[in-house]
Each structure stands twice: as structure tokens, then as C-alpha cells.
Amino acid sequence: MTANLLDYDLDGLAVFCDRLGEKRYRAVQLFRWIHQKGASNFDEMSDLAKSLREKLKISAQIKAPNLISQHISSDGTIKWLFDVGGGDAVETVFIPEEDRGTLCLSSQAGCAMGCRFCSTGHQGFSRNLKTGEIIAQLWFAEHFLRKHLQRDERIISNVVMMGMGEPLQNYSELVPALRAMLDDHGYGLSRRRVTVSTSGVVPMMDRLAQDCPVALAVSLHAPNDALRDDLVPLNKKYSLAELLNACNRYLAFAPRDFITFEYCMLQDVNDQPEHAQQLVSLVRHYSSGGVWCKFNLIPFNPFPASGLTRSVPERIQAFAKILSDAGIVTTIRKTRGDDIDAACGQLAGEVKDRTRVGERIARQRTFVLKPVSVISK
């Protein structure tokens, strides 16, 4: 069977090279060709011995999921849909800003967590992505953007695991992908610029702290267990107390860091002043005085099946003020890519909708890339 080299972090690639009788520095060269130069073809790798290239052609490939479609928003946000086989598709979103370029990656096709306000959750779970399918989203986006913007330097400066899926439910495939992002021979991103977002898979938060302590965002969405049980069913397994204790343990491995709490603003559900006050007490209780978190309030992105609505702006402002007045850094997330459904929770990716994915793949033959120059500032 041919190995997909996108499935490996550098150590994994070194093991693979060792099996071919090649030294570690060959793995480093290969890794740089793949991730830094975006090579997908062994013949491009001019500084590798011809004999090695021939061996690689027989035993390996560099294979990313096929692109189904690309949508560019008027604000420069780009959404790509990738075919991951079996009728499943996943989405990746690029968000350009003045001082950074953020890529939002998917970790699963669908999600089993079933959060009430999330359209991915409503679709149910299809399968875990392989390491190669996770890192391929970055590999594709980075090299695609470099080519189309005709720039040689890095374009994506931040990665957030906030697309489809619960990353910590796909732990063993996630970690090598994170390592490739952080590796100086890969994408060289600092661990503070790579964020894993979780709905609160407590045991895996502890493992991530040990294995790869990147920035952590926790989807809180409610200040008490009764409400959180309803919105985020995983809360019935890991209560708020367990979750916040796990946040504290995480920070012990990530000194001088903070946790970002995401809080989706749902009209009349979790957006009243008393909810904000309860959050302040909760944070104070668990932080023993020193505040170690930030809040990111996300205006809910509605979809019909949820039966929920977005909090009005005044509610969100008032909520933010209560948190800020208590000394908690609070931001309100700007909605980006609204015109192309690229905002949080809208990444539904036509999972399990075999016909529609099939149709889109068929259309791919006539697929023409729009000029990406529109995303330049």
C-alpha cells in the first residue's frame, strides 16, 4: 500500500524513511519540500537522489482531498469545500485581516456532540479525518494563496481548529497535524498561534497539555450546568466544575497563557444579565483571584432547524460590559463571510448528502478558479 506522506509529522516521516533505509536528514528534506514548498510530485524534489525519488514513487504519495468548490466573500473570506470520499465533504475557511491570516480547519466529517445551536452537530457524525486530511487543508490553502497572490512568504499566520467536528474526539489524528503546523521544518507556527477549540472533552484536554500545549479555546455557552446540559450535551458527562478544573490543569502546562471561552449569544436563552453575572462568579471561583481567561462572544449564526435566534446587538453589548467591568477581557466576534455561509456553525459541508456532493464533484471538471486578487487589502 502506498503511504500518504501528509499523514506524518516529522518523526513519523523519519520512521517511514528509516524503513526505506534513509537517514533522518532525508526526512527533513522531504518534509520541507512537502510543507514549505507545497510539492506534490517527487520529481520536483531536485536535491533528493534520483534513486530515492524512484523509491518514493513506488511506496508513497502526497495526496490531498479533492477540491469541490471555492467561494469568495465580499469581505475577502474564502471558503473551500473538500471531498473526503464516501459522500462526505468538509469545509475550510480563510479569514484575512490587517495583521494576520487565519485558517479555520475541520477535524471530522460531521460531529457526534449534538450541540443545539450548531448545524454541524445537527448533521450527526460521519467519520474522523486522517492526519493527512487535516493538514492537507493548511497545505492546500497556504500554497494556493501564495501562488495566487504571487507571494513567497507565509500567508497563513494563525490556525484555529474551529471548523467541522470536535478535534479532541479525533485526538490521535489531530496531534501529528498540530506538530506539523508547529515544526520549524513545516509551517513554523508558534504554539500560541494554533488554537484547538473544544466543547470540553476533559480527559483529552489533559493529554493535549502533555503532548502539545497549543492555545486552547473552550466552548462554554452557559454559566450553569442545567443550561449547559441542554445546549452542549457533553456537559452531562463532564460538568462545568470538571471542565474548569481541567482548564486550570491545562494552564499549568502553558505558562503565561489564558483560556479563551467561546460563548454563543442566543436570544433569551443564555444572554441575560444574570447569566453574565453567573459567569463572573464562576470564573472568580475557579481562578482563585487572578483572571486567566478571555471571553469571545459569538453572535449566533441562525439556521432553521435550531429553533434559536441571535441575541440583539444591545443584549450582546450589555453582556460584554458586565464581563469587562468585572475585569475580564471580552471581545465580540465579528461575523465574517456571511454572504458565503462561512461563519461559525454554518460549516455543514453537505455531509452524508451523497447526491449533492456527487453533483458538485461532477461539476468540478468545468470548475474555474476565480481570481483571488480580490482578497488583497
Q: Which residues are catalytic?
A: 91, 344
- Residue 198 vs 287, nearer CB to ligand SAH: 198
**300 makes contact with ligand SAH (CB under 6 A):** yes
For the bound state, the minimum distance from the C-beta of residue 144 to ligand SF4, rounded and expressed in Å, comes to 25
Please state, in angstroms and rounded to a whole number, the distance separating the CA atoms of residues 34 and 36: 6
Q: In this chain, which of 73, 77, 158, 198 binds ligand SAH, going by CB under 6 A?
A: 198
Q: Name the H helices within the chain.
A: 10-19, 24-31, 50-59, 119-123, 131-149, 171-182, 202-211, 225-231, 240-253, 273-287, 313-325, 354-363
Q: In this chain, which of 197, 260, 311, 330 binds ligand SAH, going by CB under 6 A?
A: 197
Cα–Cα distances (Å) from 100 to 60, 97, 131, 193, 320, in that order, read 34, 5, 25, 10, 24
Cα–Cα distances (Å) from 299 to 45, 92, 317, 334, in that order, read 47, 20, 11, 8
- Residues in contact with ligand SAH, shown as a per-residue x/- string from 345 to 364 under the rule CB under 6 A: x-------------------
For the bound state, the minimum distance from the C-beta of residue 215 to ligand SAH, rounded and expressed in Å, comes to 13
For the bound state, the minimum distance from the C-beta of residue 361 to ligand SAH, rounded and expressed in Å, comes to 25
Which partner, ligand SF4, ligand SAH, none, binds residue 262 by CB below 5 to 8 Å per kind? ligand SAH
Place of cell 463532564: 238
- What residue is closest to ligand SAH based on CB? 345
- Burial-class residue 186 by CB neighbours within 10 Å (0-12, 13-18, 19+): buried
Query: Which cell numbers in the block locate residue 254?
Result: 502553558
Q: What angle do CA 273, 219, 320 make, to 5 degrees?
A: 30
Tell me how many residues contact ligand SAH (CB under 6 A).
15
For the bound state, the minimum distance from the C-beta of residue 14 to ligand SF4, rounded and expressed in Å, comes to 33
**Binding residues among 21-80 for ligand SAH as defined by CB under 6 A:** none
Residues of this chain that bind ligand SF4 (CB under 6 A): 111, 113-115, 118, 120-121, 165-166, 199, 219
Q: Which residues bind ligand SAH (CB under 6 A)?
A: 117-118, 162, 166, 197-199, 219, 262, 264, 298, 300-301, 344-345
